[in-house]
Structure 1
C-alpha cells in the first residue's frame, strides 16, 4: 500500500479540518469531562476546533493527508499566547460554552501548561498540539504518516518534541515513536493526564517507530 502523502494545510481547509478535530475528539476523556452534555459538545466544539486550526496556520505548522487527518505543530518557543488564540477565534468559541465548561477547560489547560513548563523549561521542544484522523480514514496509516513527517522536521532542527494526552489508549502509540511518559497525573477533579517527551535526535537519525 502506498504511504499516505503529507502536505501543508491550506486556508480553505480550515473549516473542514476543524470539523474533523471536533469529530475525532468527541469522545476524548478531556472533552467529555469538560463539556459533559454530548449535544452541547456537538454544537460548540467545532467552533473551538476551527479556531485552533486557524491559530495553528498563523503561528505554527499544520499538516494534513488529503484533508482526512490533521496535525498541528508549534516550533520551539512559538506556542501561541492567549492573545494569539483569542485573535484566532477562541474568544467566540468560548463564549458559546457555559461558564462551567469554560472553567473545566481552563483548569485542564493550566495542568497541561504547568507540566509542559516543568519538563520543557527552556521552550526547546516542538509541541504537537493536535493529531486527529477522521473516523472514515482511520486504519489507513494517516496518524503514522503525520507523526513521521513532523518528527523528521523536529529532528532536522535537533529539538525534542512534547505532547500531552488524556486518553490512555494513545500512550502506547506515541511510545512506539520514541516518546517517553514524563508526567502522569490523577489530580482530584481533573481527568487523568499524560505528558510525553521525545528526546532530541540528530538530523542524521531518521524518524522511526522504535
Structure 2
C-alpha cells in the first residue's frame, strides 16, 4: 500500500514543528547547535518553528496523511543560490538566531556554512529537512516523501540537492541516487554534513 501524502497548510504548523523537534532532538547537528541537553530540550522547538515558518512562507512542506512524517522543500530557480546565507529576504540565519537564541552563534554559523556550499547556476529542488516521528522510523515514510518529489524531478528533468546530517540518512539518499557534491562540510569542532546532488533520471512513462 502506498503512503498518502498531502501539502501542509498553515493549520499544520504545530504538527510540523512537533515532528521536526522530535525527529531531530538526537541528530548530531542539533546536538552541535545545542550541546547541553537541557538547553536543547528548551530551545530546539523554537528553532524548528522558525524553520517551519520560513518554508510555509517561501517553500513547500509535504506531510503524510497520518501526520507521522514531513519533508521541507524549496524550489530554487536557475542562477539563484543560497550564497549569502539567506533563505529569504528577511529570513536568513541572523534573524533566526535573534528570534530563537541570540547568544547562540552556532545557529547563524550553520546557516551561513550550508549556504556557502549550496550549488548555484541550475534550477533544482532543495530538500531542506525531512522528519519522521521516532516511533515510525524505518517504515519507508521518508523514502516515500522523497520519491514523490524525485519522480516529478525526473519528469521535469530537474536535479535535486540536500545536506545529509548523519551517516544513516546519507546512505538512504545514496540509494535514491544522490551523490556527494564537493567536499564534506565539517562543522567547527562538530560533526560532518554531506552536501549531496542528484541528477534527474530518464523518465519512463507508465
Superposition TM-score tier, normalisation by shorter sequence: 0.7 to 0.9
- Output aligned runs, 1:4-19, within 5 Å: 4-19=3-18
Question: Which residue of 1 is the match for residue 75 of structure 2?
Answer: 75
- TM-score, with normalisation over the residues of structure 2? 0.85
Task: Count the aligned residue pairs.
Answer: 196
Say if 2:47 and 2:100, in contact at 8 Å, map to a contact too: no
Aligned partner of 1:107 among 99, 106, 109: 109
How far is 1:98 from its partner? 5.1
Question: Which residue of 2 is the match for residue 95 of structure 1?
Answer: 99
Distance in 2 (alpha carbons) for counterparts of 1:162 and 1:92: 22
Change (3 A) 1:190 1:205: farther
Question: Which residue of 2 is the match for residue 201 of structure 1?
Answer: 201
Change (3 A) 1:3 1:168: same
- TM-score, with normalisation over the residues of structure 1? 0.83
Equivalent position SS for 1:75: strand
Moved more, 76-85 or 160-169: 76-85
Structure 1 residue 61 and structure 2 residue 60: aligned?
yes
Moved more, 70-79 or 127-136: 70-79
Distance in 2 (alpha carbons) for counterparts of 1:123 and 1:108: 23
Change (3 A) 1:32 1:11: same
How far is 1:188 from its partner? 4.5
Distance in 2 (alpha carbons) for counterparts of 1:25 and 1:55: 17
More helix by share: 1
Change (3 A) 1:59 1:98: closer
What's the CA shift string for 1:59-107, capped at 9, x where partnerless? 1111011211100111122876343426xxx9477434251x2x11222
CA-atom RMSD in angstroms? 2.3
What's the CA shift string for 1:105-162, capped at 9, x where partnerless? 222222211111xxx2214221000111011222222111101111112223211101
- Output aligned runs, 1:123-138, within 5 Å: 123-138=122-137
Change (3 A) 1:164 1:39: same
Equivalent position SS for 2:184: strand
- Output aligned runs, 1:124-203, within 5 Å: 124-182=123-181, 183-186=183-186, 188-202=188-202
Distance in 1 (alpha carbons) for counterparts of 2:88 and 2:190: 21
